[in-house]
Structure 1
Amino acid sequence: MGETKSRVVKVEVALRFVCMVLGAMTALLMGLNAQTKTVFFIQRKASAKDIEALWILTMVAAAAAGYNFLQLLRCIYSSVQKESSCCSNRAVAWFCFVLDQAAVYAVFSTTLAALQGAMIALTGIHSLQWSKLCNIYSRFCVQVGGSLFCSFMTALAMALVASVSAYRLFRLYPSRARSVTRAHR
């Protein structure tokens, strides 16, 4: 049983580290992305703040990276202290589970919203007379694509973290088979 808990902690630490790095990469790629072009003698600058969904993704990715950093510190602290309080306390386990779920949904939904905004920038909308932004700001669009890829990978890794969190939570509730087996001993 102790070996299984040790393996679960190692997996959670590794996944949280990956989530932290991917979230930070997303926020940095999106937040620092800007390109300036001269169009008809006017200098225009494209940045993530121009499309609100991209800016919101930047903020959510940074918050998710920070959240995973704090949870990573919690995991490391509990493993160093050899405490099982985070594993054996149902209230704390539920709290971590709900926060993990909320973080996954926040990152995934803002990524999809940013993808929609990026698709409008890529294809334009002729009926609204919106031209293709990516024809003018190609480097900007490539970097947006890279940060969207990082954001999808962040959401996937955070979904794996949430499944580890669910495993830890539901291990605290005895199953009927385990309680029957213990009663017969």
Structure 2
Amino acid sequence: MEETAVYVVFAGASAAAQHSLLVVTGSRELQWMKWCYKFTRFCFQIGSAIILNYIAAVLMIILSFISAFNLFRLYSPKRYFQFKSSS
């Protein structure tokens, strides 16, 4: 379940980064202007939000690894799906 949340957060951050790159560079084919010339505060805010979103995704990955490690260390390496304390 935690891995799914990590994937969703990372996918959202990647989609936002892709769209913000289009906002920064513009597109002549689609006749979209570069917004950062007009809205510089917006560009700084969205840039910092994307960076913080990636930091949150990395922290969620670390938390997921710690959780999985704490779960799987309880199981016996020799017996399939049995706890270490059970015989």
Instruction: Please give the TM-score of this superposition, normalised by the length of structure 1.
Output: 0.41
Structure 1 runs (4+) deviating above 2 angstroms are: none
* 1:169 Cα deviation after fit: 1.9
RMSD: 1.6
Question: Aligned with 1:127: secondary structure?
Answer: coil
Aligned residues: 80
The runs of 5 or more residues in structure 1 that have no matched partner are: 1-98, 177-181
Which structure's relative contact order is higher, taking Cα pairs within 8 Å and 6+ residues apart?
A: 1
Counterpart in the other structure of 2:81: none
The runs of 5 or more residues in structure 2 that have no matched partner are: 79-83
In structure 1, which of residues 150, 153, 176 is the aligned counterpart of residue 52 of structure 2?
Answer: 150
* 1:131 Cα deviation after fit: 0.6
Q: Equivalences for 1:1-185 in 2 at 5 Å? A: 99-176=1-78
Cα distance in 2 for partners of 1:104, 1:127 equals 34
- Looking at secondary structure, tell me which structure has more strand per residue: 1
Cα distance in 2 for partners of 1:124, 1:169 equals 47
Instruction: Please give the TM-score of this superposition, normalised by the length of structure 2.
Output: 0.85
Aligned partner letter, 2:49: S
Cα distance in 1 for partners of 2:71, 2:31 equals 52
Question: Aligned with 1:142: secondary structure?
Answer: helix
Question: Aligned with 1:128: secondary structure?
Answer: coil
Cα distance in 2 for partners of 1:124, 1:153 equals 26
* 1:172 Cα deviation after fit: 2.7
